[in-house]
Amino acid sequence: MENDTYKTIVKPNDEVLFKDKNSKFFGYAFPVKNEDEVKAHIEDLKKQHHSARHWCYAYQIGFEEPDLLYRANDDGEPNNSAGMPIYGQIQSFEVTNVLIVVVRYFGGVKLGVGGLINAYKTTAQMALEACKIVTKTINIDFLITFDYKNMNKVMRVIKEKNLNITDQKLELDCQITISVRKKEANTIASIFDSIYEVNIKELEN
């Protein structure tokens, strides 16, 4: 059966701190839905920690290939010593729609690549451990359009199938937006499709 659930975080964690040889690593995890939100969080942290040396991060958005969006950024640290260890924790916790940022203040003593990998990995792990991780369903949104006279037919299906209405405009020309679990989407679409004078179309998320 097709999997239509995913794990994510609901809200940002409380700041976590990891120390190694006088270097300080502050860890943050944020729920994100797009790259604009990623940029906004990173810019905020750069203002908050304007005297830090590195702002390394990794994020993943989406549920499955080819729509999965992910990136790991070392921000001046040696290649693959920061971003990838952070991204590894996103994979390890099996979460998505999440951004983890680790802010480093250099303490005067070099940690070496092994030390950096451990520090960024551990801080990312601490950040995710400080979050509440929840399981959500992957939903598909549909727009149903119909004349007011067909309202009862539409509402009967919505009630019978216990569908979630996210938006509605009930005038002479009616529009209702519903959010349906991915694995039930085709069935629900065909039910509305079969009702005379009722149109349904999938919305782009």
Q: What beta strand segments (E) does the chain contain?
A: 5-9, 16-20, 23-31, 54-61, 69-73, 98-105, 133-137, 139-147, 164-169, 173-181, 198-202
Q: Using one digit for the tens of pLDDT, what is the confidence trace for 92-112?
A: 999 999 999 999 999 888 999
pTM (2 d.p.): 0.81
Task: Tally Cβ neighbours within 10 Å of residue 70.
Answer: 13
Q: Which amino acid is at 26?
A: F
Task: Tally Cβ neighbours within 10 Å of residue 51.
Answer: 5
Q: Using one digit for the tens of pLDDT, what is the confidence trace for 184-196?
A: 999 999 999 999 9
Q: Using one digit for the tens of pLDDT, what is the confidence trace for 80-96?
A: 999 999 999 999 999 99
Structural domains of the chain, with CATH: 5-136 (3.30.230.30), 138-202 (3.30.70.240)
Residue 160 in contact with residue 28, Cβ under 8 Å? Answer: no
Q: Using one digit for the tens of pLDDT, what is the confidence trace for 5-15?
A: 999 999 999 99
State in Å, rounded, how far the first CA of the chain is from the last one: 23
Q: Which residues of the chain have a pLDDT value below 70? A: 1-2, 205
